[in-house]
Amino acid sequence: MNTQRILLASRPAGLPTAAQFQFDSQELPAPAAGQVLLKTRYVSVDPYMRGRMSAAKSYVAPYEVGQPIAGGVVAEVVESQNPALPVGQVVVGNLPWQQYILSDGQGLNPVPADQAPLSYFLGLLGMPGLTAYFGLLDICQPKPGETVVVSGAAGAVGMIVGQLAKIQGARVIGTAGSDEKVAYLKQLGFDEAINYKTADLPAALAAAAPQGVDCYFDNVGGAITDAVYDLLNKHARITLCGQISTYNATETPVGPRPEGKLLKTSTRLQGFIVNDYLSRWPEGVKQLTEWYVQGKLQGEETITEGFDQIPAAFLGLFKGENTGKAIVKVA
C-alpha cells in the first residue's frame, strides 16, 4: 500500500508558508499481528500546531523536521490484524498527516459514529469541545448573570465556550475578525459580538460589558486582552487558552504590564492546556454529547476538501479564514 505523507520541511520564522510542507509517498507493509491499516477520513488543523513547528520547548513536543506532521485525525479501519479494531470501525486519534496509516491501535479511540457527523469528533465532541468545557467550566466557573468575554469567539474553541457560557446563564460577549463572524455569533446566541478589526475595541467592549467582566476566555491575546484587563471585576477569572495573535511573532511582544490590574482586582489567571484534563476526558465527552443531542450545543465547521489542501487549510487559520472548526475532508 502506497501512501501520501506531509512532512515538516523546515521550521518557520514568523508566519508559516507553503515552504514548510513537503509531500512525499511511502510504501506501507501489510498489517502484522495486532496492527491495523487506517484510511484517513478527516484531518484537524489547529493553531497550537504552530508552536510544535518551532524547536522551542513548549507544552507539546516539537515536530521533527523531515518527519510527518501529526494531529487530530478521524480514520477508518480498512485492514485489520487486531480483533479489537475490526474493518469498518471509525476511530479518532493523534495521527500523522498521511492518507493511510499503519497503527498498533495504541491511543486510538472508537468513535460513536451514530451520534454525530464524524468530523465533530475533531471539533464539538473532540479536543476543541473539551478545551472549551474544562477551560470554561473548571477554571472560569461562570455564574448566572456574570459577564463572560471570549476572544477568537468564532473559532473552533471560542464558539463552544460562548454556547457553554450561555448554558450557565451568563451574559456572553465575543470578539471576532469579520462582520460575517459577528453575525454568526449573534445567531448562535451571543449577547454581544464585536469585530475587533473595525471597532474601537476598548470603547466597544466597555459598552458591551456595562457590569464589567467576570470571566475572560482568551484564545487570542494582544490588544483584545489589554482592553479586557481594564474591565475586570473583583475576583475575575481568566482562562489563558491560546495566544494566536502572537504565535508568529519574531520578536518578544510588548504591551502594557497587566500585573497591576490583576492585583487590584484579585483576578486569577490560569494558563490552560486540555491535556492536563486527560483523566476527565470521558466526563467531558459525555456531557458535550448530551447537550448536543438535546440541541443545546451546535457544531460549526469550515471544511476544505482534499489531502493536498491540508497545508492551505492550516495556513488559513492565521488569516482568520475559518468559522468554527477548520477541518480537511480527505476521503
Q: What is the DSSP string of 12-77?
A: -SSS--GGGEEEEEEEPPPP-TT-EEEEEEEEE--TTHHHHHSSS--SSPPPPTTSB-EEEEEEEE
Q: State in angstroms the smallest separation of the CB of 258 from a second copy.
A: 7
- Out of 255, 286, 296, 306, the only residue in the binding site for a second copy (CB under 8 A) is 255
Q: Which residues pair with 26 in a beta bridge?
A: 3
* Window 201-230: contact mask with a second copy (x via CB under 8 A): -----------------x--xx--x-----
- Out of 2, 27, 144, 254, the only residue in the binding site for a second copy (CB under 8 A) is 254
Q: State in angstroms the smallest separation of the CB of 294 from a second copy.
A: 32
Q: State in angstroms the smallest separation of the CB of 78 from a second copy.
A: 38
Q: Which of residues 233-252 bind a second copy (CB under 8 A)?
A: 234, 240-243, 246, 252
- Out of 14, 88, 107, 253, the only residue in the binding site for a second copy (CB under 8 A) is 253
Nearest to 194 by CA among 151, 237, 159: 151
Q: State in angstroms the smallest separation of the CB of 20 from a second copy.
A: 21
Q: State in angstroms the smallest separation of the CB of 150 from a second copy.
A: 15
Could you count the other beta carbons within 10 Å of the beta carbon of residue 262? Answer: 16
Distance of CA 225 to the CA centre of its chain: 19
Cβ(132)–Cβ(160) below 8 Å: yes
- Out of 12, 34, 51, 117, the only residue in the binding site for a second copy (CB under 8 A) is 51
> Beta strand pairing status for 171-176 and 192-195?
parallel
* Window 57-76: contact mask with a second copy (x via CB under 8 A): -xx-----------------
Task: Give Cα separations from 280 to 37, 46, 130, 143, 300 (angstroms).
Answer: 29, 22, 9, 22, 24
Question: Nearer Cβ to a second copy, position 86 or 256?
Answer: 256
**Cell numbers representing residue 239 in the block:** 482562562
Is there binding between residue 53 and a second copy (CB under 8 A)?
Answer: no
CA–CA separation, 179 and 177 (whole Å): 7
Question: Nearer Cβ to a second copy, position 75 or 228?
Answer: 228
Q: State in angstroms the smallest separation of the CB of 259 from a second copy.
A: 5
Residue listed under C-alpha cell 459577528: 182
- Out of 1, 273, 303, 315, the only residue in the binding site for a second copy (CB under 8 A) is 273
Could you count the other beta carbons within 10 Å of the beta carbon of residue 235? Answer: 10
**Binding residues for a second copy (CB under 8 A):** 51, 58-59, 218, 221-222, 225, 234, 240-243, 246, 252-260, 262-273, 276
